[in-house]
Amino acid sequence: MNLELEAYEGELEKLRRVYTMVRHLSAEKLDGVFFICGEAGKKDDMGLPEKIMVCPAYGLDGFAMYTKTSGYSAPEY
């Protein structure tokens, strides 16, 4: 029974991630959903910019600037 419950919890976590992605893809249709609205600075070897601009909700004039604090990292196999 525990293994079955753990499997369902894993699926629920995946579903929550997809839900979050879909919400942010539809930012112009939903209230209070932030989205990346721009980039600034040089890009690294992976194509990631030094800074990104994030708008807190569609239709607002302003944005917050976020600065990259570390390089790209991935698990080593």
List the chain pLDDT tens, one digit each, 77 residues.
688 888 888 899 999 999 888 888 888 888 888 999 999 999 999 999 999 999 998 888 999 999 999 988 888 88
Prediction pTM value:
0.66
Q: Would you say how long the chain is, in residues?
A: 77
Long-range contacts of 65-71 (CB under 8 A, 24+ apart): 65/40, 68/44, 71/44, 71/46
